[in-house]
Amino acid sequence: MTYHITGLAPDSFAPLFALSDAELTQRNACRVTASASRGYPCRITLEDAGQGEELILLHHTSHDVATPYRSAYAIYVRKDQRAAEYVDVTPPVFEGRPLGLRGFDAEGLLRDARLALPGEADAKIRDLFANPEVAYIHAHNAAHGCFSARVDRHGETA
């Protein structure tokens, strides 16, 4: 087995759903309703929300490291979801999307990167992990730039 992808832990996001819209605004977040069944990728389930589902759009630090590669951007999360887990297979949220895959070492420094066009993510992830300097990979949507998921070598997590 090569790699493991896990959705974000829902516990840190659950309290946001009880906040008022004004309270969310104070936290640089907002409540949204998916207007289509694609385009609202939940970072907990690693699936797109269905049309009509409620989500929170928030600013999230995805790469919280003390290096120049520290990174944060907007993500969507859904209420009352379980964190998805995938081993040696890519999640639905990767399907049909070009991805920027950034390979980091254990200290959080960028060591390699790949652009994965739709259908190429699995092969590009394996290729990045062929580099022994790459400890983990961050997948981002290439067009919008938002964090999609962290990919760890199988058996290793942050």
Handedness of CA 74, 75, 76, 79 (dihedral sign): negative
* Cα(31)–Cα(29) distance, integer angstroms: 7
The domain limits of the chain are 3-153
SS3 88: coil
Residues 6 or more apart whose CB falls under 8 angstroms from that of 81 comprise: 7, 10, 42, 44, 45
Q: What is the pLDDT of residues 2-37, one digit of tens each?
A: 999 999 999 999 999 999 999 999 999 999 999 999
Q: pLDDT tens per residue, the chain (158 residues)?
A: 699 999 999 999 999 999 999 999 999 999 999 999 999 999 999 999 999 999 999 999 999 999 999 999 999 999 999 999 999 999 999 999 999 999 999 999 999 999 999 999 999 999 999 999 999 999 999 998 899 999 999 866 55
pLDDT value of residue 151? 97
